[in-house]
Amino acid sequence: MDRELIAGRFACPDIEAFVISTLDGQVVATTLSGEPDHAAHLAAALISMGERLARDFSVGALEQVAVVGRDGYVHLIHAGKNAVLASIVKDEEPLKRLQEHAANIAGR
């Protein structure tokens, strides 16, 4: 899995890092330096909140969560049934390209 993450990071050069975590926030694999445990917990919490919002507002099954900041994006999708893939990208990276790379890495 780590080799796939690194390959995905270099295939899309504006991607700064990936974190794959379990749904309870444990790190499975990462290219993130710093505090990957903290990032894994946040990713798991945010995807859970996204699922709840999608259900409560009757918009169908959650496909993705995107956090758009002034200087970049954090994109979250399910990686299988029990994990979350968080991708962190620079501002220049088009979100569509990120979504395609993340889906490939997550095994969709």
| Cα 108 to Cα 103: distance, rounded to the nearest angstrom | 5
What is the reported pLDDT for 36? 93
Ramachandran region of residue 90, left (φ > 0), alpha (ψ -120 to 50) or beta? Answer: beta
| pTM, 2 dp | 0.77
Would you tell me how many other CB atoms lie within 10 Å of the CB of residue 52? 11
Give bridge partners of residue 17 from the DSSP assignment: 88
What lies within 8 Å, CB to CB, of 36 at 6+ separation is 19, 27, 30
pLDDT exceeds cutoff 50 at 10: no
Residue pLDDT, tens place only, 26-67: 999 888 888 999 999 999 999 999 999 999 999 999 999 999
What is the reported pLDDT for 93? 56
What is the reported pLDDT for 37? 95
